[in-house]
Structure 1
Amino acid sequence: MADLTRFGISIDARLLEQFDQLIDSKGYSNRSEAIRDLIRGTLVEQEWGDMTRETVATVTLVYDHHTRDLADKLTEHQHSHHREILSTLHIHLDAHHCLEVVAIKGQANQVKRIADELIGTKGVKHGKLVATTTGQDLG
């Protein structure tokens, strides 16, 4: 951030008060950092709007590992996309449930399709795609 630009904005007092409360609750040190984060978030959403653009995401899955053949099915899905899947973290939550986090890199449409396949696997109790960016185009 060597080249900073200052600018002013007009904002409703009540909205600013709510924003300041949000800043406090999230632990931002100042308004500028919070606004930069909001801008980056919007730019990442825009990146995902171009479904052919290279993106990065994580898919979080929760499942009962006693469900017949589920772990094998998930592993097979991952092996069939070995070029896009960067890493998998597997955590034993209790005697029955597992949490799996899968890091994926590829075109947004590919990443979304892989995530949908994993989340839609019969026996997965909960799944969520968290879309992010490679960071190459963010300031």
Structure 2
Amino acid sequence: MSDLVRFGVAMDRALLAAFDDRITARGYENRSEALRDLVRADLTKAAWQSGAAVAGTVTFVFAKKSRAEVSRVLDAAPAGLTVSMVEVSLDDTRALGVLVLRGNAGELSGLAGRLSGARGVFAAELAIGCVDDRSAELSPSEGS
């Protein structure tokens, strides 16, 4: 049996039209899916800001000649923070790195910041998801 709850939302007509345009462009089948994603994103952000346990990725582009500097930053990270790393060659001089991380939000954010500031790193982006005890509340609904 589904645990879905229906509720109504009142919204300004122009705001709703803009929302509909946005969710259509993003490929949502209905407003409910889009609204659930917005709520999950907000709850994840709140958990992140409170220092909850999170998992995430840092995607970064770096100069291959700076691999030692990237390694130095990663070696200084707290033990157990990095779950996995993938490195893909983009061309003769640049590579794409993807780190899979698990820890508290501050640790992930700190590592992403240090990596972003490392010599030879052109760009770094952190994406996170909450994995604390509330993760069941954030999981996608079945049969939506």
Scaled by the length of structure 2, the TM-score of the pair is 0.86
Query: Residue by residue, what CA displacement relative to the aligned partner does 1:102-132 show, whole Å, maximum 9, x if unpaired?
Result: 1111011111111112111111111111222
SS at match of 1:3: coil
User: What pairs with 1:106-125 in structure 2 (closer than 5 Å)?
Assistant: 106-125=103-122
The answer to whether structure 1 residue 77 and structure 2 residue 73 are counterparts is yes
The aligned counterpart of 1:105 is: 102
Q: Which amino acid aligns with 2:67?
A: A
The aligned counterpart of 1:49 is: 49
Q: 1:58 to 1:94 in 2, by over 3 A?
A: same
Report the Cα distance in structure 2 between the residues aligned to 1:45 and 1:64, rounded to whole angstroms: 31
Query: Residue by residue, what CA displacement relative to the aligned partner does 1:7-29 show, whole Å, maximum 9, x if unpaired?
Result: 11111111111111111101011
SS at match of 2:99: strand
**Pairwise CA distance, 1:96:** 1.1
Report the Cα distance in structure 2 between the residues aligned to 1:83 and 1:136, rounded to whole angstroms: 24
SS at match of 1:5: coil
Q: Which amino acid aligns with 1:76?
A: R
Q: Which runs of 5+ in 2 are unaligned?
A: 140-144
Identity of aligned residues (%): 32
The number of residue pairs the alignment matches comes to 135
Q: Which amino acid aligns with 1:101?
A: V
Picking from 67, 86, 91, the partner of 1:89 is 86
Q: Which runs of 5+ in 1 are unaligned?
A: none
Query: Residue by residue, what CA displacement relative to the aligned partner does 1:31-60 show, whole Å, maximum 9, x if unpaired?
Result: 101100100000000001112x21112111
Q: Which amino acid aligns with 2:7?
A: F
**RMSD over aligned Cα atoms:** 1.6
**Pairwise CA distance, 1:137:** 4.2
The aligned counterpart of 1:32 is: 32
The aligned counterpart of 1:10 is: 10
**Pairwise CA distance, 1:136:** 4.3
Report the Cα distance in structure 2 between the residues aligned to 1:20 and 1:137, rounded to whole angstroms: 25
Report the Cα distance in structure 1 between the residues aligned to 2:9 and 2:39, rounded to whole angstroms: 14
**Pairwise CA distance, 1:90:** 0.6
Report the Cα distance in structure 1 between the residues aligned to 2:3 and 2:136, rounded to whole angstroms: 18
SS at match of 1:121: coil
